[in-house]
């Protein structure tokens, strides 16, 4: 599965998400790295379009308001969180899935899971996009 509804706290669902995206960082590591300049969470951007997860894009299609997206680091990758109406969805991804961030017309985070390619197209102010790309680059090291 590519994404999960995490609106309701279901331990089995979180277990599946962390199996795909990597384990949650220990709290002490998150605090230590945040104090060192690399927070666990990314700056928030606006999700413009989703390619490769048709069900999620269909949910977003008729929206007139902006949809925000932010990421959190795991032991092996990232988890993207986006809200559609009143539901929150998580998209786990691993660094080993050719996870990249490029600058096109905004910011694009892309990963390859098996034969499926996913692209998350995002926009924000120039400074927020620059901060996100810097966060992404440091998170992948």
Q: Is 90 exceeded by the pLDDT of residue 120?
A: yes
Q: Which fold has domain 4-139?
A: PH-domain like (2.30.29)
Cβ 83 vs Cβ 94: under 8 Å:
no
Q: Is 80 exceeded by the pLDDT of residue 91?
A: yes
Q: Which of 82, 119, 68, 70 is nearest to 6 (CA)?
A: 82
Instruction: Categorize the per-residue pLDDT at 104 as very low, low, confident or very high, splitting at 50, 70 and 90.
Output: confident
Residues 33-71 pLDDT 10s = 889 888 999 999 999 999 999 999 888 887 767 789 999
* Interatomic CA distance for residues 134 and 56, integer angstroms: 27
Q: Domains of the chain: which residue ranges? A: 4-139
């Amino acid at each position: 599965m590519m994404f999960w509804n995490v609106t309701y706290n279901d331990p089995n669902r979180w277990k599946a998400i962390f199996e795909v995206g990597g384990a949650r960082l220990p709290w002490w590591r998150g605090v230590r790295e945040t104090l060192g300049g690399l927070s666990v969470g990314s700056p928030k951007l606006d999700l413009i379009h989703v390619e490769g997860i048709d069900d999620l894009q269909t949910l977003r299609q008729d929206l007139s308001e902006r949809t925000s997206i932010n990421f959190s680091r795991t032991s092996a990758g990232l988890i993207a969180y986006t809200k559609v109406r009143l539901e929150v969805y998580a998209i786990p991804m691993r660094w080993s899935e050719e996870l990249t961030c490029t600058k096109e017309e905004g910011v694009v985070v892309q990963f390859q899971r098996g034969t499926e390619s996913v692209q998350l197209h995002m926009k924000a102010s120039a400074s927020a996009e620059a901060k996100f790309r810097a966060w992404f680059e440091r998170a992948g090291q």
